[in-house]
Structures are given as C-alpha cells and as structure tokens.
Chains A and B, each alone.
Chain A
Amino acid sequence: MAYKVPRPNLTFAEKIYLPSVLAGLKITLGHLWRMLRGKTHVCMQYPEEKWDSHLPDHYRGAPTLVSDEFGRTRCVACQLCEFICPPRAIRITPGEIPTDDTFAKVEKYPEQFQIDMIRCIYCGLCEEVCPEQAIFLKKEYAIARTSRAEMMHNKAKLIEMGGLQPGVVNKWNEKK
C-alpha cells in the first residue's frame, strides 16, 4: 500500500523562499559572530590544549609491562598475549630464570618483549588475557615517531612506560 506523504501547506512567505534564506543567514552569521568574538569554545587546539586530565581510568592507551612491589617485571612469558593479540603486534622470546634467583620458581621470564605499535590496535585483549596482570594499557596515546624502528617498543621501553603497579596477584611472593 502506497503511503501518501501529505505535502505541507506553505504560506506565501515560505513559498518565495527569500525570508527563509534570511532566517538561515541569521543563524549562520550569528554563529560566525559569536566565534569571531571568541564566545564559542568548542574546538581544542590539540598539541597546546589537551584533554589528558579528563581521561577515564579505563582509558586504553599504549600497552605497557608493569612491575610489582619488588621491582620485578610481572610477566612470566606465558605468551598468552602473543597468541590473542588480533593484529599480532606482540613478539616474546622467553628465557629461563636461573635456579639461584629469588624468583627461581617462576621459571620463565621474557628475555625479549616487543610490541609493534604500528600494528597494535589498542584493543586491550592482552591486558584482559594476562593471567599475571603484567600488561596494562596506560594513558599514553600520542605514539607518533618518524621511523618504523622507533615504533617498535622493546622490553626496556615497555617496562619504563609501565612503572610500578602493586597488584592483587602475589602468588610468587616469598611470604606465601
């Protein structure tokens, strides 16, 4: 069944269209005038003005490796994040912890841990899958460098970005 859209009954002023042109101009020029006097402030001038202080806690920025209260990198090189990462941005080379180490029972540590920030899509799956709460997406978002090599975050860089983060997982502590 065809539905007939009723045509609006236009007044003469609406039909000749010019009054509505003037009304439209009034609106747009009003905006222009308010902008010119600096009354409207909608846009942020990005590098100079930032939204950083308003970022929520769950903001997903660059993934980083965090350390526990002993300064030990939490990661146990289980490689779960490497497998789940959708764009395969993570590369881990596991290493063995020597038996005379305090944390010898952890057995494995990442000898190398690389995240290719050209590939990373900031999905946060690595943070979610990690059984050790070792990898977190921090609030760093302006990852822009001038070469591919610089976009490759290595272990040192990741640890430095992650910093200390005492967490709930403390199964490797001596006290237990």
Chain B
Amino acid sequence: MNAILQFLSDPLPFLVWTTLAKSAGLLGVVLVMVSYTVYAERRVSSLMQDRLGPNRTGFPTSLLGFGIKDWSPFLGGLGQPIADALKLLLKEDFTPAYVNKFYYWIAPGLGIGAAIISLAVIPFGSSIAGVDMVIANVDIGPLFVFAISSLGVYGIVLAGWSSNSKYPFLGAVRSTNQLISYELALGLSIVPLILIIGKLNLVEIVSYQVQNGWMLLPGITAKAPHLPTLEQFLTWIPVFIAFLVFTISMFAETNRLPFDLPEAETELVSGYHTEYSSLKFALFFLGEYTAMITGSALIVTLFLGGWHFPGIPDGSAAGWLGVMWGLVNIGVFLAKVVAFLIFFIFIRWTLPRFRYDQLMKLGWIWFFEIALVNIFITALIVTYVH
C-alpha cells in the first residue's frame, strides 16, 4: 500500500495520474452538462413559446414521498436526458448504401474529438491540494482552442461530403464558408486582451484578472470590489468591443442560431447530419453542445475572470479548507459557464437566421475591420496607461 502511495507521489506518475483524473472528471462533468444543456434548451425554448416542453420523464419523486407531482411543470422531465441517451444508443444505426463509408464513419468522431480536446487548456478551477485545475497548462491557450476547434469543421465537411446527398453537401459547403468568414474576426478580437494582459497563457490570464479585476467588469478584483479607475475604464472600452465581436463570432463558431447555416433545419432538412442516425447522430449532437460549452468556458476565462468570484479565496489554503475552496472555485466556474449557456439558448430562440452572404459581410466587412481598429485603439490606450 505504502509502496503504491510512494509511487503515485513521484513526480512523473503523479503528473500522469492527476492529469488522467482531471481529464476523466472534466469529461464526466461535460457530458452531464451537455445532456442537461439539451434539456435546458428544450425547456427554455418551450417556455419562451408558451409551451411546457418535456416534463414527464422524471424521477419518481412522488414515490419517494416528496409530494411533488412527477409531471409538475417545472420539476418534471429531469430524467429526459437519460431517456434520450438510451434512445439514441438503442436506435438502429443505419448506414445508407451510397455513402463513402470510411469518411462517413470517421466524421462524427472528428467533430466531437475537436470539441473535447480544446477543453484541455481551459483552467476550470484554481487548484486542489496543489494540483492546478487545468489539464494542459500551455503558453498558447486561446490559440490552441482556436486551432483545435477549427479542425472540428472537418467533421462537418466530411459528414456532408461523404453522405453523398445534396442537403448534407450544401451544409458542408456552407460550414466551410462560415468558417472562413468568422475565424479571422474570432482570432483578431482577442488580440486587444492579450495586449493588455501581456500573457497568452489562460491560467495567467485568469490570475491577472484575479489581481486586476475581470476584463469585462474591471471593478471586481480579489481585494475589495470598487468602481473602476480612469485607466481601467479606458482599457475597458476596447475590451468591451472585443467581447462583443468575440461572443458573436463564438455563435458562428459553435454553429448556433443566428448562424446555424450548416444545419438550418428549415432549409436543409437537417443539414450536414441528415443521413446520420443513432449513435453517430448522437456524436454530432454531443460535439455541437460540447463546442458550446468550450466556447462559453473560453469567454468566461477570457472576459469574466474564470473561476474567480469576489470574496471566495482560491484553493491554496492548506488541508481540507483548501480542497473545499478549490471545489467551490470549480463550482463558480461552472456556474458562469451555465449562465453563458443559457444566454446562448435565449439568443437561439429569439433571433432569425442570417443568410450566408450576410454572414460573410458581417465577418469580413464589419468584424474584421472592427477587430483591426480595436487593436490600434488598444495599442494607443495601453501606451497611454503605461
């Protein structure tokens, strides 16, 4: 027993097993979050449309004697994600005869793989017992996320192309089109942030915000929350512009309405995954929502102080207290991400879809230019402030 403990606390094995544990834990949390995001999506959308949404497949609360009706409009339906997952698993997995089998089979994996891998660099908590709550602490955090998630588009393209059918194909063409319109703006929009912070490492970006206030809400620091000073207010202007551009581009990146052109149920049947069924369809679905979570997590990390919340210390205290605060930090981070996910859902059920030429115009003519000008403004302000 002692020998095992000894082995586990050696530097290399320690690194390996903590990383594996973090990955497994994050994956588990994300999968649960994905299924409940789908549920939230259905419930919120129906409430917005004066419907009720799935409110039956619940846990038998009345059998347990809670006295709540199982189909009560707001508590029922919590079992729906489980039922959905089972249904998707058990359905017939049908491969049409005319598809390009190899690419048809690897496409779903590409989509979800990209979405999950890019989660690796996001610091989802401070630290627990001295272990940083980030899977890969690399110096190129945001770029890594962009790079990997831009590979996710191959999942869509391959799905559309290998399905050998016209609607998926149109979806695939649209998705490449969409990628080249927003990706530039997405990348450029965070340059001001990096100019101000001077770091590319997401962990350091978060700790900068802990010290100097959240990027979007400069008054909130680890010390006392206060009104922003003049310097903070000046740097806040480009950050706000960057936030707008980045968030809107994120909607395009995650293929969410108003930019869900590759899917566009009302135009392309079901877009790039029209020919998919069962588990392979579920993978696309998972990938889409995981990308949404990654996007929200990135926005939270870059603009909203990551796991930090005023009054809550990080997990550096010794003993169980530190562990507890570390867990609370993770909770804060997840809460912020959830808030953003719900914002995503609100927007989805409010706005109509953009046409693809409108998206190109938005990406190339507006956001690209705004992001560029924003970089210059930031450079000026940063020189002034320093």
Instruction: State if A and B touch, Cβ cutoff 8 Å.
Output: yes
Interface of A with B (CB < 8 Å)? 18, 21, 24-25, 27-29, 31-32, 35-36, 38, 40, 42-43, 45, 48
Q: Is the CB of B71 within 8 A of A28?
A: no
Q: Which of B51, B73, B346, B350 has the most CB of A within 10 A?
A: B350
Q: Is the CB of B51 within 8 A of A28?
A: no
Does B349 count as interface, using CB distance less than 8 angstroms?
Answer: yes
Interface of B, secondary structure class, is: loop
Chain A nearest CB: distance from B239 CB in Å?
17
Residues from chain B with a CB closer than 8 A to the CB of A29 are: 48, 346
Residues from chain B with a CB closer than 8 A to the CB of A31 are: 47-50
| CB-CB nearest 8 A-B residue pairs | A24-B350, A35-B47, A28-B48, A28-B350, A42-B50, A32-B48, A32-B47, A43-B52
- Partner pick for B44 among A21, A27, A32, A40, CB 8 A cutoff: A32
Q: Kindly report which residue of chain A lies nearest to residue B354, judged by CB atoms.
A: A17
Residues from chain A with a CB closer than 8 A to the CB of B71 are: 45, 48
28 residue pairs bridging A and B, Cβ less than 8 Å apart: A18-B244, A21-B347, A21-B350, A21-B351, A24-B351, A25-B347, A25-B350, A27-B350, A28-B48, A28-B346, A28-B349, A28-B350, A29-B48, A29-B346, A31-B47, A31-B48, A31-B49, A31-B50, A32-B44, A32-B48, A35-B47, A38-B73, A42-B50, A43-B50, A43-B51, A43-B52, A45-B71, A48-B71
Q: Is the CB of B50 within 8 A of A40?
A: yes
Interface size class of B (residues with CB under 8 A): 10 to 19
Given contacts A24-B351, A32-B47, A36-B74, 7 further A-B contacts (CB under 8 A): A21-B347, A28-B346, A28-B350, A35-B50, A36-B47, A42-B51, A43-B51
A40 to B48, CA, bound (A): 11
Residues from chain A with a CB closer than 8 A to the CB of B47 are: 31-32, 35-36
